[in-house]
Structure 1
Amino acid sequence: MFSGCYMRYSNHRFFGPEAETEDNTGFSPWVIIGLASAGVACAVLGAIGTCISCKRFSKKKGLGDIPATRNNTSLNYMYGTLEKATDHFDESRKLGQGGAGTVFKGILPDGKVVAVKRLFFNTRQWVDQFFNEVNLISGIQHKNLVSLLGCSIEGPESLLVYEYVPNRSLDQILFVKNTINILSWSHRFNIICGTAEGLAYLHGGSGVKIIHRDIKSSNILLDENLNPKIADFGLACCVASDKSHVSTAIAGTLGYMAPEYLVRGQLTEKADVYAFGVLMLEIATGRKNNVFSERSSSTLYLVWKQYKAESITQAIDSTLKGRFDEREASIVLRVGLLCTQSSVALRPTMSEVAQTLTDRRCVIPSPKQPPFLNASVLSPEDTMTSSFMGSSALNDPRTQKPDT
């Protein structure tokens, strides 16, 4: 009797003889089914992986298809040309590094010296947003703004080409304490005034409103005559003229960020004014605002303390050894405090700042205590208007409001 899936009785064999195997390596049906399933799964996963890779490759190779950049004939540098110009981005050519990329000195085939910025990001979303800003900035010309000469997005990474500024950035001179490269007061005042003019132009002098969002000493470059040029527009944001503010992701450098932007993400051109105020105080005092220790206070606190003691010029950089114009120094420090007010409404516009620095007839109101001295952030009672820098302020009782 033979058994199977069911039982049957017969006098004769009703099935064929068992197949003989040549060896002992045969697979059971379940093993075969498992291998077949695994093969199908691998094929499906491979197809998905190939699809994803192709899409990524397509996106990367498609960076050059952005109409905004294609339509601008000035943005026409070949990647290979810039790679050669920087000696393949050799470390010896490195000029500096910021939040968006590393800058290298480049020498073009015609002998022209340029600054080539090698960007950290290379995604479609970033390129779409950033190069739209690049197109706008490339059409803006001002003596106190670094000129954008072009870019390359055809190679494995995105590159920007700027004019070369020989004296590098302000922080490399201002905060390096030695007896050789001390910036004179006249140079400091010129740098402050030039930067103010450049920002005023960005905020409306060109017909559009551009907010830089990262004004700080390392983003102020100095030419051969130590004239300032605002650089690094990687975080720049265009704002419609009819918008009071825009809500955006927070980006910038701690110590230079306005309280309303840092706390609520509300961005206006007054955020640049705040950062410029911090920069003014740093230039005048020779101290970084965002470097703290247990035995030191912020630059804002030190200037405010001297202001309250009616000895504000005592905050001026001691390395100058008293060689500065006391009236100019007083103006710079007081305007710096006004620019760093908690309330947006209390801060002047950059046009008003530029005018006040050069027109000694302007009356400067008494500033209130700035934020971030003792963990304070915003002062809701500070609601005075910011339009106070004209000569008409002489008879405005608001300019005579006592300190609180």
Structure 2
Amino acid sequence: MERRSTITPWDLECMLCDETAKPKALPLSLLEEITNGFSYEQKIGRGGFAVVYKGKLENRTVAVKRMSDTYMHEKEFHREVECLMMVNQKNIVRFLGYCADTQGSMERYNGKFVMADVNQRLLCFEYLPRGSLHEYITDTSRGLQWRERYQIITGICQGLHYLHQKDIVHFDLKPANILLDDNLVPKIADFGLSRCFAEMQSRVITLIAGTFGYMAPEFCDHTEITYRHSYRLDIYSLGVIIIEILTGKRGYHAVDNVVESWSNKLKKSQRDVQLEQVRVCTEIGLECTDFNPAKRPDTKHIISRLDETETTDGYINTDVITSQQAKDAPNEVHQDTPGEASSDGRSSRRVLELEYLDDDVLQDMLQDHGK
């Protein structure tokens, strides 16, 4: 009989270090070991039908989600595993593996001992010590700076776009289900209510799922929803979250009022660019929460709008300066006189990039170019 391989805490730690590692079936004994037998001291959270524990490895930490009622929530477990096995993106929580263990246990029933199945259903994820976005939702007067909020908004949009490209609808998008890493990069989590739809699937969704306050109105008034329209439910939730990140509160907020609330909080050097970002994000949030699902933008349109506000403002810059571009940059600086742009605008953009480089880095670039 072939001996089944055993996964050790060290193997799990190696998986964490390898971004290409695929999720695996994990033995119950391993998850018990790293959580100290699912001890109370290791508990870090509780959801609707699961408890989350901290799992200690030698040098790293993981999160272990243990289903509290496996019989009642077996479908949710299977849906979550199905969705998580398909995803690998920086704005989706990293999934390491699952455990579906069933053991027989002698239990007393009506005065007799009977053999009963005990099901253990667990999931293992990367551990994100900053917790959920819910803990960081504040108004403009305190909490996160604009650049951090903007980074979180764009990250959530990119993560949701990835899911929708994979035909996955989350159905429970809210700040409590968005985790933050050490650099405040948002990661969408908790796929217990999610669905993965085949491309041509046309079945009607009848189950009301999600969290009130973030659920689209059509999901609450028994409107018939097919999978083709189900993506708009996530878009509504996204809009609520964006407005909440901008203002600290859910509900309607006039665009000009939101912009004004940020106008005195931003540094003068980036104010114009960042206020435009505030305006665009507010407009997107309001469009996403339109009561008419057909008027809500899709994630591709949202990301395109956000890309238009991307700039080298010292905080968010999608353009990476390569070594060759760094060598060419001084020439481009001298080729463009002040107030004069090149035909394609790239030279003037390079000047802006250089303005926000560290002085020492810029000096090194000029010396390298002289060589």
TM category, shorter: 0.5 to 0.7
- 1:277 pairs, out of 239, 247, 254, with 239
Of 349-358 and 257-266, deviating more is 257-266
2:308 equivalent to 1:359: yes
- 1:250 pairs, out of 201, 208, 211, with 208
281 and 90 in structure 1: CA distance in 2 versus 1, 3 angstrom threshold: same
RMSD between superposed Cα atoms in Å: 2.6
Q: CA-to-partner distance for each residue in 1:348-403, whole Å, 9 max, x for gaps?
A: 00121111112249xxxxxxxxxxxxxxxxxxxxxxxxxxxxxxxxxxxxxxxxxx
Cα distance in structure 2, aligned partners of 1:173 and 1:165: 14
Cα distance in structure 1, aligned partners of 2:172 and 2:261: 25
What is aligned with 1:314?
Answer: 260
**Are the aligned partners of 2:140 and 2:246 in contact in 1 as well (CA < 8 Å)?**
no
Percent identity over the alignment is 36
Report the 3-state secondary structure (helix = DSSP H, G, I; strand = E; otherwise coil) of the residue aligned with 1:118. strand
The offset of 1:211, in angstroms, is: 0.3
Cα distance in structure 2, aligned partners of 1:176 and 1:247: 36
- Counterpart residue type for residue 42 of structure 2: R
Cα distance in structure 2, aligned partners of 1:154 and 1:191: 37
**TM-score, normalization: structure 1?**
0.60
Q: CA-to-partner distance for each residue in 1:237-283, whole Å, 9 max, x for gaps?
A: 11232246732310110000001112125261010000000000000
344 and 177 in structure 1: CA distance in 2 versus 1, 3 angstrom threshold: closer
- 2:136 pairs, out of 125, 149, 173, with 173
**Are the aligned partners of 1:95 and 1:168 in contact in 2 as well (CA < 8 Å)?**
no
Q: CA-to-partner distance for each residue in 1:185-231, whole Å, 9 max, x for gaps?
A: 10100000011001001001xxx300001111111111111101100
The offset of 1:173, in angstroms, is: 2.4
- 2:84 pairs, out of 121, 137, 162, with 137
- 2:34 pairs, out of 72, 79, 85, with 85
244 and 215 in structure 1: CA distance in 2 versus 1, 3 angstrom threshold: same
The offset of 1:139, in angstroms, is: 3.0
**Are the aligned partners of 2:134 and 2:176 in contact in 1 as well (CA < 8 Å)?**
yes
Cα distance in structure 2, aligned partners of 1:224 and 1:129: 29
Query: Where do 1:4-403 residues align within 5 Å?
Result: 74-108=23-57, 110-123=58-71, 126-128=73-75, 130-154=77-101, 156=118, 157-175=120-138, 182-204=143-165, 208-243=166-201, 246-264=204-222, 266=225, 268-287=230-249, 289=250, 300-301=251-252, 303=253, 306-307=254-255, 310-314=256-260, 321-322=265-266, 325-360=274-309
**Are the aligned partners of 2:169 and 2:195 in contact in 1 as well (CA < 8 Å)?**
yes
Cα distance in structure 2, aligned partners of 1:334 and 1:74: 38
**Are the aligned partners of 1:198 and 1:230 in contact in 2 as well (CA < 8 Å)?**
yes
Report the 3-state secondary structure (helix = DSSP H, G, I; strand = E; otherwise coil) of the residue aligned with 1:99. coil
Cα distance in structure 2, aligned partners of 1:234 and 1:177: 32
**Are the aligned partners of 1:211 and 1:238 in contact in 2 as well (CA < 8 Å)?**
yes
The offset of 1:94, in angstroms, is: 2.4
Cα distance in structure 2, aligned partners of 1:217 and 1:231: 10
- Counterpart residue type for residue 196 of structure 1: C
178 and 98 in structure 1: CA distance in 2 versus 1, 3 angstrom threshold: farther
- Counterpart residue type for residue 162 of structure 1: F
Higher share in strand: 2
Cα distance in structure 2, aligned partners of 1:244 and 1:338: 26
**Are the aligned partners of 2:34 and 2:55 in contact in 1 as well (CA < 8 Å)?**
yes
Gaps of 5+ in 2: 1-21, 103-117, 311-371
**Are the aligned partners of 1:239 and 1:246 in contact in 2 as well (CA < 8 Å)?**
no
The offset of 1:338, in angstroms, is: 0.0
Cα distance in structure 1, aligned partners of 2:53 and 2:300: 33
- Counterpart residue type for residue 198 of structure 2: A
**TM-score, normalization: structure 2?**
0.65
Report the 3-state secondary structure (helix = DSSP H, G, I; strand = E; otherwise coil) of the residue aligned with 1:158. strand
142 and 151 in structure 1: CA distance in 2 versus 1, 3 angstrom threshold: same
Q: CA-to-partner distance for each residue in 1:65-104, whole Å, 9 max, x for gaps?
A: xxxxxxxx94322222212211222333222222231211
Report the 3-state secondary structure (helix = DSSP H, G, I; strand = E; otherwise coil) of the residue aligned with 1:103. strand
218 and 175 in structure 1: CA distance in 2 versus 1, 3 angstrom threshold: farther
Q: For the pair shown, which has the larger CA radius of gyration, 1 or 2?
A: 1
Report the 3-state secondary structure (helix = DSSP H, G, I; strand = E; otherwise coil) of the residue aligned with 2:54. strand
Cα distance in structure 2, aligned partners of 1:132 and 1:286: 32
Report the 3-state secondary structure (helix = DSSP H, G, I; strand = E; otherwise coil) of the residue aligned with 2:123. strand
